[in-house]
Structure 1
Amino acid sequence: MPGLIGLRQTQRQLFRLTVLCAILQVLLLRYVGIFSGPQLPTMPSEQSAQEVAYSLLAGQGLVLKSVDVLQTLWAGYGEICRITATPNVSPNSSGTTSRTGSTAASSASTPQEVQSYILKLITPPPAKANNEGHTRKILSYQVEQYFYTTLAPQLPPHIPVAKHIASIHEPRPDGGVSMAMIISDLRQTYPVAGEKRDVLNQIQVHAALDWLSSFHGFWWPRIPTLNRSQLVRPPLQEVNTDGQDARHKSVWLNGGYTYLATRRTEYANLAADHESEWWPLTDWEKDEFSVAELVASVLEPKQEGWGPIEGYTTLIHGDVKSENLFTSKSGEEVVFYDFQYVGLGLGVCDLAKFFTCSVPLEMIVDDRPVPWELAMQDGEKELLERYWVRLKKESGMEYDWAIFVNHWEMALVDWLRFQASWGFWGNTEWLEARVRFILKNEKWKDAVTGNAMTAGLWGKKQLP
C-alpha cells in the first residue's frame, strides 16, 4: 500500500506540473504578442482600433497616444474613433516605415505637439451575395477613401474638408474587405457639431448653402475630365462587372443613396400600397412609366452618351444634413464630412434633402400651418437664389433660372418618392405640399416627359 500511495502522489505532482507548464506557455505567448506590436501593413479583421491606428500612424512618423471610440457605424460595420498622436522623436526612428501600395499617405506636415485625428475603421461582416444594402455600404466606404485621397486635395482653401493622413484597404480570407482611414479632426477648427438637431440657425444655413454652392461650382466645369468608366455604378450592377478592383474605381456614377435605380424594392412596396397618398407616383403616367420613373430617368447621370442634365452635372455630396457638418463658433464658416455617397448629379439634389431635414421651416414658408398645396414662397426663393448666384460665380457657368427651378422641382419629387417609400422625417408638410403643387402643373409634367424621351427611356422595359 505505501508503494501505491507514493505512486499516486507522483502522478498528482506530474499533473500539476503539466498544468503549470501550459499556463506559463499561454502567458509567454501573450507577453510576446503584446510587445511585438502590430505588423505593417496587414490589417486582419481581428485587429483592434488601437492596433490599426498604431500601424497607420507609424507610417507617418507618429506615435499613438490615445484612442476614444466616438460611435459605431451603421449595422455594426465598424467604428469611428478620435485618436491623439505625437511625432516619433526616437533616435532610431527615421520617421517613415515601408508600406504596400494599399496604404496611401498624405503629405501633411509633421505636427510639433499632440494632435487629434479621426480614425474610421471598417470591419464589415462577410460578403452577402445579391444583398444590395450590404454591397452599397461596402462600395460607399471605398468611394469615401477615393474622395479623401484623390479629390479632396484638389479643393481650394475656401472649400474646406478634412485632410487625409493615411489609409489602408485589405482583402480578408472570408472574401470580404477591411478598410481604415485617418483624417484630420475637424473639431479643432470647427468646434460646433450639427449632430442630430432637426434644424440649423439662419447663420449656419447660409454658411452651409455657401459651402455647397462653392463645392458644386468648383466641380461643375471639371466633371468632363472624370473617367466615367471608373465611376461606381448601382450596387448590384457593380458586383456583376468584370471584376475590376474597386480600389481602382472613383466616385458614384449617381451621387446619393436614394435614387430609384438602387431603391427598386422600396419603390415596389410603395406601388403595392394603394392606400398611400403617394401611390400615384408609381402608377403609369405615360405609356408604361410612372412619374417617379420619368423623373428618375431625367436626373440619372449617364455613363455613356448624352443626357438632359449633362450640361449641369456636378459632383454632389450625396448626404447633406446637419449631422454631417461642423461650424465655427459664430456659425459663419461650415465644413461638411461623410463623403460615402459623393458622385455625379445636380446640385439641387443635395438641396432637396438639406431643405427638408435641416433648414428651419420658418425660413422656407410664410404661412402656418402649411397649406395643402404650396407654390414657392419668398423664403424658399431667397435661399435658392443665394445658392444659384454663388454657384454661377464659382463655376463660371451659365444656369438659366427657369431651368434651375425645373431641376429643383424634379429633385423635390424624387426626394419625396424616397421618403414616401422609406419613411417621412423633417419638414415633410412643406415637402408634400410643394410636390402636390408641382404635380398639378401639366406643363411641368410635359417637360419631364420630353426630357425622359431625350434620355432614351422609351424602349426600355425598366430603368437601369
Structure 2
Amino acid sequence: MKNNEHEFNQLLSAIIKTTHFVKTEVIQTLWSGYGEIARFETVEPDLDKFSNGPDMTFVVKHINPPVIQQHPRGWSGTISHQRKLASYDVEAEFYQHWANKTKPFCALPQFIGQASLSQSCLSSKMIVMSDLDREGFPTRLTTVSAENSKICLRWLARFHALNMQHDPLDNWPNKLWPIGTYWHLATRAKEFDAMEKGPLKDAAVELDKRLNNCRYKTLVHGDAKIANFCFSNDLAHVAAVDFQYIGGGCGIKDVVYFLGSCLDETTLERQFEQLIDDYFTELHTALCLFQSAFSRREIEKEWRPLVNIAWADFERFLAGWAPLHAKRTTFSHRLTVAAIATLNK
C-alpha cells in the first residue's frame, strides 16, 4: 500500500511540478468502488497549510479498480468491468485532447495531466484537472426547476453545436466512443436479455437503429444527468463534468436523459414540450454563434422526431437494468408507447 501511495505522489508531483501538496477533501467515490475524486491543495513549504498563504487547488480523479467487482444493482462481470475501464480511457482522452479547446465555449474542467500507475494495477490511473469550485461553480443540485434547467440545456446546445458533424467519417470521433451514452443497446446485451417480453423489447433494435442512423451527429456527453453539472451560486452559469461515455450520436439523447434526471413527473407533463423547444432555440443560436455551415432547419427536422425515440431507448435500458426504477413513470410510459407507434408508420 505504501508503494502505491509513493508512486501516486511521485506521478502527481511530476504533473503539478511540486512536491508540496495535501489532499483536503474526498469529493466522491467512483461507481462500484473504482476509486475516488479528491480535491488537493498546493502549500508553500514554510507556511501552515491552513494559513492564507499562496495556494492552488486542483482535482484528481484516481481510478483504482477493486480486486473483486461489486455492482450496486448486481450487474458485475467481465463485460461491465471492461466497459468501465474503457470509459476511463475515453475520459482521459477527452480531457487531454478535446476539453481545453471546448472550455472557452462550454465550461468544464481544464486538463492538467494524467498518468498510469504501474505498481498497484495496470488499470489504475489518475486524471488531474482544474477545480471548478475555485472557478466559480461550487453548487451541486439533485433537482432543478424547469426554469433553472434551461442553463444546462444551453450548455448542451452549445456543446452539440460546437461538435456537429454531417455523415461523419468512420474514424470520428477518434479514440472516443463510436456511439456515446452508457446505455446503448450494443453494450447492454445482458440487460436486454433480462427484459420482459413485450412491445418495448420487440422494438429495441429498431429504436437503436433510428438513433444511430441519423445523418447529423455530434459529440454527446453520454451521462448528462443533473449530478454531472456544477452551478454558480446564483444558478446563472453551469459547467459539466464526468465524460466517461462521451462519443458520437444524436444530441437529443443527452437532452431527454438530462430532463428525466432532474424534473419530476408533474413538471415533465407540463413543461417537457416547451423545454424541447427551448433546446432547439438554443441550438439554433449556438450554430449561428459558431458560424456553423450546417443547416439549423435540417438538424431540427431530423432530430425532433427522435425525441420520443431517445426517451424510449433509455426506457428500454431501465426495463432490463432496473425494472422498478422510479424513473419508469406514467409519463415515461406514454412517451415510450408513442415512440413504438411511430416505428410502424
Which TM bucket (shorter chain)?
A: 0.7 to 0.9
Selected match of 2:192 from 254, 267, 286: 267
Asked if 1:118 corresponds to 2:59, the answer is yes
The structure-2 alpha-carbon separation of the partners of 1:88 and 1:184, relative to structure 1 and needing over 3 Å to count, comes to: farther
| Contact preservation (8 Å) 1:203, 1:331 | no
What letter is aligned with 1:121?
A: H
Q: What does residue 281 of structure 1 align with?
A: 200
| Matches of 1:299 and 1:358, distance apart in 2 | 23
The structure-2 alpha-carbon separation of the partners of 1:168 and 1:118, relative to structure 1 and needing over 3 Å to count, comes to: same
Deviation at 1:171, TM superposition (A): 4.7
What letter is aligned with 1:191?
A: P
What letter is aligned with 2:12?
A: L
| Matches of 1:437 and 1:332, distance apart in 2 | 34
Asked if 1:215 corresponds to 2:114, the answer is no
> What does 1:145-164 align with in structure 2 at a 5 Å threshold?
145-164=92-111
What letter is aligned with 1:258?
A: W
The structure-2 alpha-carbon separation of the partners of 1:425 and 1:171, relative to structure 1 and needing over 3 Å to count, comes to: farther
Selected match of 2:273 from 356, 375, 381: 381
| Contact preservation (8 Å) 1:166, 1:183 | yes
| Matches of 2:191 and 2:249, distance apart in 1 | 21
Asked if 1:294 corresponds to 2:294, the answer is no
| Matches of 2:171 and 2:30, distance apart in 1 | 30
What letter is aligned with 1:269?
A: A
What letter is aligned with 2:275?
A: L
What letter is aligned with 1:117?
A: F
Provide, for residues 300-321 of structure 1, a one-character-per-residue CA deviation record: whole Å limited to 9, x for no partner: 3xxxxxxx31x31100000111
Asked if 1:329 corresponds to 2:248, the answer is no
Q: What does residue 177 of structure 2 align with?
A: 252
Deviation at 1:223, TM superposition (A): 8.5
| Matches of 1:340 and 1:206, distance apart in 2 | 23
The structure-2 alpha-carbon separation of the partners of 1:393 and 1:126, relative to structure 1 and needing over 3 Å to count, comes to: same
Q: Which has the higher contact order (CA 8 A, sep 6+)?
A: 2
Deviation at 1:134, TM superposition (A): 0.2
Q: What does residue 342 of structure 1 align with?
A: 246
Selected match of 1:55 from 6, 11, 14: 11
What letter is aligned with 2:23?
A: S
For the pair shown, which has the larger CA radius of gyration, 1 or 2? Answer: 1
| Matches of 2:54 and 2:170, distance apart in 1 | 39
Provide, for residues 123-162 of structure 1, a one-character-per-residue CA deviation record: whole Å limited to 9, x for no partner: 114599x811000110011111111110001115231110
Deviation at 1:52, TM superposition (A): 2.0
| Matches of 2:45 and 2:11, distance apart in 1 | 13
Provide, for residues 7-47 of structure 1, a one-character-per-residue CA deviation record: whole Å limited to 9, x for no partner: xxxxxxxxxxxxxxxxxxxxxxxxxxxxxxxxxxxxx9952
Deviation at 1:113, TM superposition (A): 2.3
Deviation at 1:53, TM superposition (A): 4.4
Selected match of 1:436 from 317, 333, 337: 337
5+ unaligned residues in a row in structure 2: which ranges? 47-52, 70-76
| Matches of 2:304 and 2:43, distance apart in 1 | 51
The structure-2 alpha-carbon separation of the partners of 1:351 and 1:425, relative to structure 1 and needing over 3 Å to count, comes to: farther
| Matches of 1:259 and 1:152, distance apart in 2 | 24
| Contact preservation (8 Å) 1:324, 1:336 | yes
| Matches of 1:71 and 1:330, distance apart in 2 | 24
| Matches of 2:258 and 2:224, distance apart in 1 | 6
3-state SS in 2 of match to 1:432:
helix
| Matches of 1:66 and 1:87, distance apart in 2 | 14
| Matches of 1:394 and 1:223, distance apart in 2 | 20
| Matches of 2:209 and 2:87, distance apart in 1 | 22
Q: What does residue 108 of structure 1 align with?
A: none
Selected match of 2:140 from 184, 190, 193: 193
> What does 1:102-117 align with in structure 2 at a 5 Å threshold?
113-117=54-58
| Matches of 1:85 and 1:47, distance apart in 2 | 21
3-state SS in 1 of match to 2:284:
helix
Q: What does residue 40 of structure 1 align with?
A: none
3-state SS in 1 of match to 2:230:
strand
Q: What does residue 41 of structure 2 align with?
A: 84
- Matched positions, count: 323
Q: What does residue 390 of structure 1 align with?
A: 282
Deviation at 1:357, TM superposition (A): 1.5
Deviation at 1:186, TM superposition (A): 0.8
3-state SS in 2 of match to 1:313:
strand
3-state SS in 1 of match to 2:263:
coil
What letter is aligned with 1:116?
A: T
3-state SS in 2 of match to 1:180:
strand
3-state SS in 2 of match to 1:193:
coil
| Matches of 2:185 and 2:236, distance apart in 1 | 35
> What does 1:339-378 align with in structure 2 at a 5 Å threshold?
339-366=243-270
The structure-2 alpha-carbon separation of the partners of 1:225 and 1:335, relative to structure 1 and needing over 3 Å to count, comes to: farther
| Contact preservation (8 Å) 2:43, 2:55 | yes
Selected match of 2:127 from 159, 173, 181: 181
Provide, for residues 167-220 of structure 1, a one-character-per-residue CA deviation record: whole Å limited to 9, x for no partner: 10245686x3210111111112111112xx2x2123430100000000011001
What RMSD, in angstroms, separates the aligned Cα atoms of the two structures? 2.9
Identity of aligned residues (%): 26
What letter is aligned with 1:319?
A: D
| Contact preservation (8 Å) 2:15, 2:114 | no
